């Protein structure tokens, strides 16, 4: 694994961005075509690093001095090479979009040819029990981890002083089943929408098509859906509407680092982590992977020297930010990935680089050994979470690996059924922005849903929408929610912020130590079989995946499936 040392010892100024006077307008930026993320060398002073950027032909437009990372523009195509020769700089990476919110993957090798016709019916909701929310009958995920009215809600529903940062595509802060726990004061957006990439392909779309006619979205908006779903799973309140999250009394802070399109830049990711560290955030959820390289390799012969250098910078810069946050008490939780592969083995990556920062740039196939790392999930001090289905089997799409996965949590597996046909009831149900449902034509004129994957619940004149999706993106927030409960139960008053705090190492130790150990399946190589409806016909897919390790720790489940009640009743 490529590792990076601790954050800069000399570069210690705390401002997230240079004041305007420190970054004067530079005439050379007129017509500039390239933007870079530059990593300052450890031990270099700010003056030395800034002078080195200038000497390489760049101009700083944004700077994170906590970890020594800057966004730089230059009209010189040789900038990366020139920066590499500067002693005060550790390297530069093209400022590509560096991640996608994980989605259900395309079919792996093993796609079959069997086809059958079929459709899916409407979802029925079981009547709630005493003390349950109206849609609790659909929340098999909460029952799997004992986050229920009779379970952890009774023992520890969470403390309002505990803050969970959702590092994602944004959070719909006005969603009725999120708003009571949404901390708008601390929420921030570290992104700017990108209309198109270097090839002219749409990314976030034209700014003038935005609801506010701007590429700068407010910090209470999610135009993707992903971040809102994650936030709801963590902390939807018990308010008699819809459903409750794992930690229904804690607060959600939107730390938006992802684009509307689901991509993530390096600089916003680094800034989001340092912001969390400096503002008393107790837990962050990172349901995305950092690329343009799905796996970052230090010296892969398939990559050009420039691309190798870029990948090293991505790993080092991200690790600095992770270290900075972890040392300040932030528990770091991440999705394990949706590629159906073992991260501890050699794999083939044909998806990288997945964003064109230069004209003509496209992904290509390369072999990636286990020494190549996916960030942030393989970063030091990060808790990678694999996904389970309703039967507690590892979800067919979830990536895995003995020594990689820390714990498992429900993330949904819609084909965890007797016949391998998808069932929305076996996905994860959580909040869905009404604006997106309307934009996608999923609502009738009277506001009722016209698709089984969307539900509405109303309390008086107040209505809210929910959707069923699956992914390790959905597993990770369950673990983040339990981490928030742990801080609520065992944390101490934070003298700096007035909230609660608990050493991140202690939080992880309790989370992993109270998980329910689960053995590898027998036999340990599983052939998953499932079907997808394509053009009106069911298409069969298969995938063989091998679990390694013991009952106490293995590649499918890590230390086990998380348990909210056990975590707060030690």
Average predicted confidence (pLDDT) for the chain:
88
> 421, 449, 443, 440: which is closest to 532 by C-alpha?
421
Q: What is the pLDDT of residue 445?
A: 95
Q: What is the pLDDT of residue 198?
A: 73
Q: What is the pLDDT of residue 20?
A: 29
DSSP code at position 334: E
Percent of the chain with pLDDT over 90: 76
| pLDDT of 19 higher than 70 | no
- Say which range, 11-15, 192-196, 506-510, has the weakest mean pLDDT: 11-15
Q: What is the pLDDT of residue 124?
A: 76
Helix (H) or strand (E) holding 54: helix 46-55
CB atoms within 10 A of CB 388: 28
Tokens at 65, concatenated? 């001095």
pLDDT in tens, 312-339: 999 999 999 999 999 999 999 999 999 9
Helix (H) or strand (E) holding 84: helix 79-84
Q: How confident is the model at residue 260 (pLDDT cuts 50, 70, 90)?
A: confident
Q: How far apart are CA 407 and CA 512, in angstroms?
A: 7
Collect contacts of 528-534 with beta carbons under 8 A, ≥24 apart.
528/340, 528/396, 529/420, 530/396, 530/415, 530/420, 530/421, 530/422, 531/116, 531/118, 531/415, 531/419, 531/420, 531/421, 531/422, 532/107, 532/422, 533/118, 533/119, 533/120, 533/422
String of DSSP letters for 447-504 = S-BSSTTEEEEEETTEEEEEEEE-SHHHHHHHHHHHHHHHHHHH-EE-TTTSSEE--H
| pLDDT of 129 higher than 50 | yes
> 510, 462, 471, 404: which is closest to 168 by C-alpha?
471
Q: How confident is the model at residue 122 (pLDDT cuts 50, 70, 90)?
A: low
Report yes or no: 533 and 526 within 8 Å, Cβ to Cβ. Answer: no
> 272, 211, 234: which is closest to 385 by C-alpha?
234
Q: What is the pLDDT of residue 228?
A: 98
Q: What is the pLDDT of residue 412?
A: 97
| pLDDT of 25 higher than 50 | no
Report yes or no: 163 and 250 within 8 Å, Cβ to Cβ. Answer: yes
pLDDT in tens, 281-297: 999 999 998 768 899 99
> 397, 375, 371, 378: which is closest to 386 by C-alpha?
397
Q: What is the pLDDT of residue 234?
A: 98
Residue 100, class by beta-carbon neighbours within 10 Å (0-12 exposed, 13-18 middle, 19+ buried)?
buried
Helix axes 472-490, 226-235, angle to 10 degrees: 40
> 458, 508, 408, 478: which is closest to 236 by C-alpha?
478
Q: What is the pLDDT of residue 96?
A: 60
Q: What is the pLDDT of residue 100?
A: 52
Q: What is the pLDDT of residue 139?
A: 98
Q: How far apart are CA 533 and CA 527, in angstroms?
A: 20
356-to-33, 93, 191, 199, 353 alpha-carbon distances in Å: 13, 13, 18, 6, 7
Q: How confident is the model at residue 104 (pLDDT cuts 50, 70, 90)?
A: very low
pLDDT in tens, 409-440: 999 999 999 999 999 999 999 999 999 999 99
| pLDDT of 26 higher than 60 | no
pTM of the model as a whole = 0.90
| pLDDT of 12 higher than 70 | no
Q: What is the pLDDT of residue 291?
A: 61
More confident residue, 23 or 131: 131
Q: What is the pLDDT of residue 8?
A: 32
Q: Which domains does the chain possess? A: 20-95 (3.30.70), 115-295+326-336+372-567 (3.40.50.200)
pLDDT in tens, 139-177: 999 999 999 999 999 999 999 999 999 999 999 999 999
Q: How confident is the model at residue 376 (pLDDT cuts 50, 70, 90)?
A: very high
Q: What is the pLDDT of residue 204?
A: 80
Q: What is the pLDDT of residue 521?
A: 97
Q: What is the pLDDT of residue 5?
A: 29
Contacts of 10 (CB under 8 A, 6+ apart): 42, 43, 44, 45
Q: What is the CA radius of gyration of the chain?
A: 23
Q: What is the pLDDT of residue 33?
A: 60
Averaged over 443-461, what is the pLDDT?
A: 93
Averaged over 72-101, what is the pLDDT?
A: 84
> 569, 570, 67: which is closest to 318 by C-alpha?
67
String of DSSP letters for 492-552 = EE-TTTSSEE--HHHHHHHHHHTSB--PPPSSSEEEEEEEEEETTEEEEEEEEEE--B-SS
Q: What is the pLDDT of residue 468?
A: 96
Q: What residues pair up with 166 in beta bridges, in sequence order?
A: 254, 285
Tokens at 139, concatenated? 């929340």
| pLDDT of 107 higher than 90 | no
Q: How confident is the model at residue 267 (pLDDT cuts 50, 70, 90)?
A: confident
Q: What is the pLDDT of residue 370?
A: 97
Averaged over 97-126, what is the pLDDT?
A: 45
Residue 221, phi then psi, degrees to nearest 5: -125, 140
Q: What is the pLDDT of residue 263?
A: 86
Percent of the chain with pLDDT over 70: 89
């Amino acid at each position: 694994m490529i590792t990076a040392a601790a954050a800069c010892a000399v570069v210690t100024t705390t401002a997230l961005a240079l004041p305007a006077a420190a970054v004067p307008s530079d005439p050379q930026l007129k017509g500039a075509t390239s933007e870079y993320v530059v990593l300052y060398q450890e031990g270099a002073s700010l003056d030395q690093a800034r002078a080195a950027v200038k000497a390489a032909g760049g101009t700083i437009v944004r700077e994170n001095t906590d970890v020594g990372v800057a966004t730089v523009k230059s009209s010189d195509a040789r900038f990366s090479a020139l920066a590499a020769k500067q002693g005060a700089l550790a390297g530069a990476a093209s400022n590509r979009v560096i991640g996608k919110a994980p989605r259900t993957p395309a079919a792996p090798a093993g796609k079959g040819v069997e086809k059958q016709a079929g459709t899916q019916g409407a979802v029925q909701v079981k009547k709630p029990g005493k003390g349950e929310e109206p849609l609790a009958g659909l929340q098999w995920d909460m029952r799997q981890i004992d986050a229920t009215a009779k379970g952890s809600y009774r023992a520890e529903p969470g403390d309002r002083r505990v803050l969970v940062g959702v590092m994602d595509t944004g959070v719909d802060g006005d969603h009725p089943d999120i708003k009571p726990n949404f901390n708008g004061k601390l929420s921030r957006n570290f992104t700017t929408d990108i209309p198109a990439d270097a090839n002219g392909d749409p990314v976030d779309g034209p700014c003038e098509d935005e609801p506010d006619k701007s590429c700068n979205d407010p910090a209470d908006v999610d135009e993707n859906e992903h971040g809102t779903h994650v936030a709801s799973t963590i902390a939807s309140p018990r308010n008699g509407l819809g459903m409750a999250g794992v930690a229904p009394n804690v607060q959600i802070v939107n730390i938006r680092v992802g684009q509307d399109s689901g991509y993530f830049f390096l600089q916003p990711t680094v800034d989001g982590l340092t912001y969390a560290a400096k503002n008393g955030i107790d837990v962050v959820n990172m349901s995305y992977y950092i690329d343009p390289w799905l796996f970052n390799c230090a010296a892969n012969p398939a990559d050009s020297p420039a691309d190798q250098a870029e990948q090293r910078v991505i790993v080092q810069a991200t690790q600095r930010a992770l270290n900075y946050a972890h040392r300040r008490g932030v528990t770091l939780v991440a999705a394990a990935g949706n590629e159906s592969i073992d991260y501890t083995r050699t794999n083939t990556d044909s998806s990288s680089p997945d964003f064109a920062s230069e004209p003509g740039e496209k992904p290509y196939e390369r072999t990636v050994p286990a020494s190549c790392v996916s960030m942030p999930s393989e970063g030091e001090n990060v808790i990678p979470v694999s996904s389970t289905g309703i039967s507690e089997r590892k979800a067919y799409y979830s990536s895995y690996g003995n020594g990689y996965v820390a714990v498992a949590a429900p993330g949904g597996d819609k084909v965890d059924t007797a016949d391998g046909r998808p069932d929305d009831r076996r996905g994860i149900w959580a909040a869905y922005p009404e604006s997106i449902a309307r934009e996608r034509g999923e609502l009738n004129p009277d506001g009722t849903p016209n698709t089984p994957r969307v539900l509405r619940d109303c309390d008086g004149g107040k209505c809210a929408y929910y959707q069923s999706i699956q992914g390790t993106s959905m597993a990770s927030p369950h673990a983040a929610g339990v981490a928030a409960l742990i801080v609520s139960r065992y944390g101490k008053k934070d003298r700096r912020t007035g909230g609660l705090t608990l050493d991140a190492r202690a939080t992880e130790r309790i989370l992993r130590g109270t998980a329910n150990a689960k053995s590898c399946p027998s036999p340990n190589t599983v052939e998953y079989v499932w079907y997808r409806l394509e053009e009106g016909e069911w298409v069969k897919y298969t995938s063989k995946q091998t679990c390694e390790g013991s009952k106490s720790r293995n590649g499918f489940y890590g230390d086990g499936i998380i348990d909210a009640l056990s975590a707060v009743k030690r």
